[in-house]
Amino acid sequence: MKFIKNHLTFIFPMMAILLGVEFFLVFDRTTNNYEKNLREGYSMFIVATEPISLEDFIELDSHINQSEEVKKEKLAKQIAKGMSKSSTQKILDALPHFYNIKFDSYLHTSTLEHIKAYLEADDRIKRVETFGSSYGASYTLFSFIKFTFKAFVIFMSLVSFFLVIKQMEIWSYAHKERMQVMETFGAPVMLRSGVLFKVAFIDGIISTVLTSSMFLFLKYRWAEESHIDILLQMQDLLFQPIDFLILLATALFIVFVSVYLVVFSTKE
Amino acid sequence: MSSNIVINASRLTLSYGHTDIIKDASFSVKKGEFVFITGPSGSGKSTLLKSLYGQIKPTAGNLMVGGLDMINIPRSKLQGLRTHLGIVFQDYKLINEWTVAKNVVLPLIIAGYSMDVQQTQAKRLLKHVKLSDHINKYPLELSGGEQQRVGVARAMSKNPFLILADEPTGNLDDYSSNVIWDLMENACGQLETTVLVVTHRIPSIFSIPYRHFIIENKGVYEVH
């Protein structure tokens, strides 16, 4: 019983850290998707006196990565309804060029304002239209959610890390006599603390397997049985094979750092 | 200092905090000698022994062990020195989670010897201390006398140039004590290992020549 308790007090905080890391990975993947949609759904409308190529736009601001000229023939036809063909052509010639431009990333409203001002300063551009209010609200909400989630994960991981260190100190105390005997016979630090590394590595691997199993369950059982549309749509993003390696690497890194901290902070 | 001298203390002072335990002690021990250090409880016998394997640093004077200055010895050199010492404790200090065989070869494990060498040496030493039948047992399955024999075997496993023993028979009955003294005599007489034993009482029957130091009033004096 004591043996199990001893290991669970290490495995639980380690799992809390790994869950935090995995949630972070899943959150990052899903928000990247959302961010992409927001980015692609946003554009600036440009009215220009002469044709402007994509290269010209990129020269004006490097965030611009797409430009699409709005066909003005339809517009000219509507204006010239009932008029002669030559009038339609005259209207068509008189109309300025219209462009929709898109950006390479999800930009802050202040950056967008800056880009707008820069574009308006160009002689060829007569007017720039943005959709500031709705974009600004989405951006603020999105950034806030992202920040609070990251802050929570970091805080939770820090608390859990201290619990891992505490457990390591308990183990170090439990094996103190053995380590002292080895020290008396001239064993180097790494050999003396080998027992801590061994126990912690095994528990680190157990924590990784348990955390991965939880997410695999969420992905293949819970998500499917829940019939929640968004979960089914995002099912692929829930747990990916690379995540197992990331979790394992994180667990082993934490094990190494915590053993190192405990062993080297103990006075001989 | 002659290369024949294993331990050389000159005006050695050992203290705990501001209290001197040993003061201005001078003595030397040559290669292959058997030395007893006696004295009343609390006189500083164990403190002196601990200074010889670097557990306690001298506060004044000079102390050389195996040609190394124990006052200014760096950590890495101290580790190296300890791998060439054999240490026997009154309370055995065996690793209870390890088998008897693994305990015996601890110095070989530390030195990175192969498993084959470790196994051969474990069998040889346990035969020497008459514990061949207990090779796969754990220390807590043995009696006090048997545990101490394992301790002595461990101390001898890497052919150290110096064996330091702190009250090795302090917790043992007469029969077990005699077995331990025999093993120590053999180590010194046959292998020419220097042996320094801290004890309350020198055994009445001892078949090899020895030197005797007594600790009194913080000083170390040789008894002739």
Per residue in B98-131, pLDDT (tens digit) is 999 999 999 999 999 999 999 999 999 999 888 9
**Residue A54 domain boundaries:** 43-130
Judge if A178 and A251 occupy the same domain. Answer: yes
Judge if A159 and A214 occupy the same domain. Answer: yes
Whether residue A25 lies inside any domain: the answer is: yes
b/e burial code for range A37-70 (CB count within 10 A of at least 16 → b): eebeebbbebebeeebeeeebbebeebbeebeee
Rounded Cα distance, B51 and B73, in Å: 12
Which band of pLDDT confidence, cut at 50, 70 and 90, is reported for residue B30? very high
Report chain A residues whose CB lies below 8 A from the CB of B109: 191
Report chain B residues whose CB lies below 8 A from the CB of A171: none
What one-character DSSP code corresponds to residue A53? -
Task: Note whether A212 and A244 are within 8 A (CB).
Answer: yes
Token pair listed for B44: 């500083």
pTM, 2 dp = 0.68
| Among the listed residues A196, A170, A169, A167, the one whose alpha carbon sits nearest the alpha carbon of residue A182 | A196
pLDDT at position B224? 79
Kind and range of the H or E element at A49? none
Q: Considering only residues 184 to 213 of chain B, which have any Cβ-Cβ distance to chain A shorter than 8 Å?
A: none
Report chain A residues whose CB lies below 8 A from the CB of B82: 184-186
Judge if A66 and A15 occupy the same domain. Answer: no
Q: What angle, 0 to 180 degrees and rounded to 10, lies between the N-to-C axes of helices B144-156 and B174-191?
A: 10
The DSSP bridge pattern shows strands B85-88 and B194-198 to be unpaired
Contacts of A187 (CB under 8 A, 6+ apart): B79, B110
Judge if A48 and A78 occupy the same domain. Answer: yes
Tell if the CB–CB gap between B110 and A186 is shorter than 8 Å.
yes
- Looking at chain B, list the stretches that DSSP marks H as alpha helix, in order from N- to C-terminal side: 45-52, 75-82, 100-104, 106-111, 115-128, 144-156, 174-191
**For chain A, how many residues are written?**
268
Report chain A residues whose CB lies below 8 A from the CB of B80: 186
pLDDT at position A26? 86
- Domain C-terminal end among A96, A130, A164: A130
User: What is the mean pLDDT for each group of 10 consecutive residues in chain A (268 residues)?
Assistant: 80 91 86 74 84 89 87 76 74 84 81 86 87 64 82 89 87 84 90 86 94 90 77 79 93 90 70
Judge if A97 and A195 occupy the same domain. Answer: no
Rounded Cα distance, B150 and A266, in Å: 29
Whether residue A124 lies inside any domain: the answer is: yes
Report chain B residues whose CB lies below 8 A from the CB of A194: none
Tell if the CB–CB gap between A178 and B97 is shorter than 8 Å.
yes
Tell if the CB–CB gap between B93 and A181 is shorter than 8 Å.
yes
Judge if A29 and A57 occupy the same domain. Answer: no
Judge if A48 and A109 occupy the same domain. Answer: yes
- The average pLDDT across B192-212 equals 88
Residue B139 sits at the vertex; the CA angle it makes with A166 and B117, to the nearest 5 degrees, is: 95
Report chain A residues whose CB lies below 8 A from the CB of B78: 186
* DSSP SS3 for A181: helix
Residue A228 sits at the vertex; the CA angle it makes with A222 and A229, to the nearest 5 degrees, is: 125
Tell if the CB–CB gap between B93 and A191 is shorter than 8 Å.
no
Substitution target in B65, B76, B95, B150 with the highest count of A β-carbons within 10 Å is B95
Give the residues across from A228 on adjacent strands.
none
**By CA distance, what is B78's nearest residue in A?**
A186
Report chain B residues whose CB lies below 8 A from the CB of A188: 79, 110
- Domain C-terminal end among A130, A147, A182: A130
Whether residue A142 lies inside any domain: the answer is: no
What domains, with CATH codes, occur in chain B?
A: 31-45+75-223 (3.40.50.300)
pLDDT at position A267? 53
Rounded Cα distance, B101 and B98, in Å: 8
Report chain A residues whose CB lies below 8 A from the CB of B97: 178
- Domain C-terminal end among A130, A165, A197: A130
In chain A, % helix, strand, coil (3-state, to 5) comes to 75, 10, 15
Token pair listed for B211: 């030197």
Query: What is the percent of chain B with per-residue pLDDT over 90, rounded to a whole number?
Result: 75
Whether residue A11 lies inside any domain: the answer is: yes
Judge if A168 and A254 occupy the same domain. Answer: yes
| Among the listed residues A245, A262, A244, A246, the one whose alpha carbon sits nearest the alpha carbon of residue A161 | A262
B172 CA: distance to closest CA in chain A (Å):
21
Residue B2: pLDDT over 60: no
B110 → closest Cβ in A177, A178, A182: A182
Judge if A161 and A253 occupy the same domain. Answer: yes
Per residue in B58-72, pLDDT (tens digit) is 999 999 999 999 999
Residue A57 sits at the vertex; the CA angle it makes with A55 and A63, to the nearest 5 degrees, is: 105
Chain A contact present for B160, CB below 8 A: no
Give the residues across from B215 on adjacent strands.
B220
Judge if A234 and A173 occupy the same domain. Answer: yes
Q: What angle, 0 to 180 degrees and rounded to 10, lies between the N-to-C axes of helices A176-184 and A132-174?
A: 70
Chain A contact present for B159, CB below 8 A: no
Q: How many structural domains comprise chain A? A: 2
A-B CB pairs within 8 A amount to: 39
Substitution target in B93, B94, B99, B152 with the highest count of A β-carbons within 10 Å is B93
Whether residue A27 lies inside any domain: the answer is: yes
**By CA distance, what is A190's nearest residue in B?**
B110
Whether residue A145 lies inside any domain: the answer is: no
What was the ipTM of the complex prediction?
0.87
Chain A contact present for B83, CB below 8 A: yes
Rounded Cα distance, B5 and A255, in Å: 46
Chain B contact present for A198, CB below 8 A: no
* DSSP SS3 for B16: strand
Token pair listed for B177: 């004590």
Q: What is the mean pLDDT of chain B?
A: 91
Whether residue A146 lies inside any domain: the answer is: no
**By CA distance, what is B76's nearest residue in A?**
A188
Whether residue A148 lies inside any domain: the answer is: no
Report chain B residues whose CB lies below 8 A from the CB of A193: none
H helices then E strands: how many in chain A? 13, 4
Judge if A114 and A80 occupy the same domain. Answer: yes
Judge if A220 and A163 occupy the same domain. Answer: yes
Task: Note whether B194 and B47 are within 8 A (CB).
Answer: no
Chain B contact present for A188, CB below 8 A: yes
